Structure 1
Amino acid sequence: MAYSTETESFHYNQLQVQQLQNLYVADRNRFLEVIDFFPLMVSSNDVDGWSFRMVNQSFAEYFERDKQFLLEVDNAYSTKLVHPESLAYISHFLKNHPYESSGSQVITYYQNVRKSRDQEYAWFLTYKKFLDKDHYFSLYHTLTELGRTGRILRDFLGEVPVSITNYLRYQSLTNREKEVLKHVARGTTNQEIAEKLVISKDTIRTHRNSIWKKLGIKRVQDCLIYDMFFGE
């Protein structure tokens, strides 16, 4: 399915993830039947071991593997498919956003994944949702599946890794600075941001200078990268 805007794809897929999670709680057998005919890739993993508990047919077909093979592989196999920096970010996020605090949240991020150990990485937009405290399921989009938006994102992201260092830099921002960053990333002027947040234009300049310094950036385009990967 192609989407006309990034916002449209985010909203639609977060809704689908929530509906799937509700189905899992209500009827696990029906959940397994539904996701096997789901057009997007879906998998379920252990929180600690990362081994696959479940993969749907679309997932198996993309990775060109038999479903049973994927369910029997060890943790080392599944983690080798994910770029090390993406893996570090996901591990850090899961550790700091456990089920108790994220149980109702759909976690969205980009990651670099490859089909096998000898192939090149490709960007995935991933939606993750805890099923219980021990495991979660994920819904995946390759950027090509996002239509025009995917082409723009792929050209924009290039080979930029989801770095744990960049994530920690983002977390060093205050809540107000994150709010200002979000507006800057969307092309809002200082005057417009000041009016939205009911603060002075000079205060916005101060926040922007602080954001630039903490993140080590020089361009508005860099703000978009940080907000796209780490913004809520």
Structure 2
Amino acid sequence: MTAPRSVVITGANRGIGRAIAERFVAAGDSVATIYRSGDLPDGVFGAVADMRDTAAIDAAFTAIEEHQGAPTVLVANAGMNRDTLLMRMSDEDFTDVLDVNLTGTFRCVRRASKGMIRARAGRIVLISSVVGLYGSPGQVNYAASKAALVGMARSITRELGGRGITANVVAPGFIETAMTGELPEATQKTYLAAIPAGRFAQPTEVAAAVEFLASPEAGYISGAVIPVDGGLGMGH
């Protein structure tokens, strides 16, 4: 029986982040989240912070370290979108999304990597999106933020790979959540027609990919982009 790992997942209060947290709890790990609001899965320690606030994120990690030790697994999942067409997109629409999705991820990785470097072991998993490499009208800001995570993971790999730390990207496609359930039926059919698998994914299918990348068996995988999109992106 291996000792439980200290796992931090940002945004574990809903959707994909919640499914990932539940999977690590079921595996017997010590799981914590940095989040803004909402209820958490059973067994998850919560620290409230805004991804845009460096001091708050640092304080959240300190609280988590006091509770369960320095994290050896970080899953950067928290994100936001503010969709609108390019010509209508304001500077704030663009920079706010990047500040949460990209710079917020950087703030968490920078803070979590301190303990990983000391331990000479760590798993960093960044949650991107098929949109990051496939593109999507009305999502210039979101797609840019998610595409940038690939460059971040690959740079981390080159910088920290010799210290037993891996950094990978998981790129989900359309996931069956409350949000997709509220889409008009015609819109859902259009999306489904573009997906070779012919269905939306379950959040647990994304969580399974994350769990594998965080495992000892994935120690020689780093700088990779793992799509969980039913074939939608197909190598983009």
| Fold match (TM-score > 0.5) | no
The two structures have a TM-score, normalised by structure 1, of 0.26
* Higher percent of residues as helix: 1
